[in-house]
Structure 1
Amino acid sequence: MKHQGLTREKRTQKDYSIAFKLRIVSQVENGDYTYKQAQKEYGIQGKSTVLVWLRRYGNLEWSKPKLHT
């Protein structure tokens, strides 16, 4: 018996509309999702894709975390 697995189509940044990106950013900034939850919920494959959107389109400070001493 041959095993048939589901294959995911790889996506690029170009596949996501600006409206989709802004919706994700808004949901993360409003606290509806963490960026990792949003990534999983919407099937975004890139590990840092949502973070890039947050830095580019978001209203909050999303630079690298600062170490507190």
Structure 2
Amino acid sequence: MEKYVKRTQKDYNMSFKLSVVKEVESGQISVTAATKKYGIQGRNTVLNWLRKFGNFDWENHTPSK
């Protein structure tokens, strides 16, 4: 049985975060599927990355320019 290891934001490098954001935004994978595929602890982690690094304007709910 594998021991569960809690991951933190520091465990993910910038290129990894950007690749997950790109994959989700391009429609290749859903947020939930990304968490399972990459072993990310929760949906909110990916949602935060999308807000920080994605091409979507979350305040106006429109794609960023």
What is the TM-score with the length of structure 2 in the denominator? 0.82
Larger Rg: 1
The runs of 4+ residues in structure 1 deviating greater than 2 Å are none
Q: Which runs of 5+ in 1 are unaligned?
A: none
Paired position in structure 1 for 2:43: 47
Are the equivalent residues in 2 in contact too, given 1:54–1:62 (CA < 8 A)? Answer: no
Structure 2 portions without partners, runs of 5+: none
How many residues get paired? 60
Q: Normalising by the residue count of structure 1, what TM-score does the alignment of the two structures yield? A: 0.78
Query: Which structure dedicates a bigger proportion of its chain to strand?
Result: 2
Q: Could you say which structure has the higher helix fraction? A: 2
CA-based RMSD: 1.6
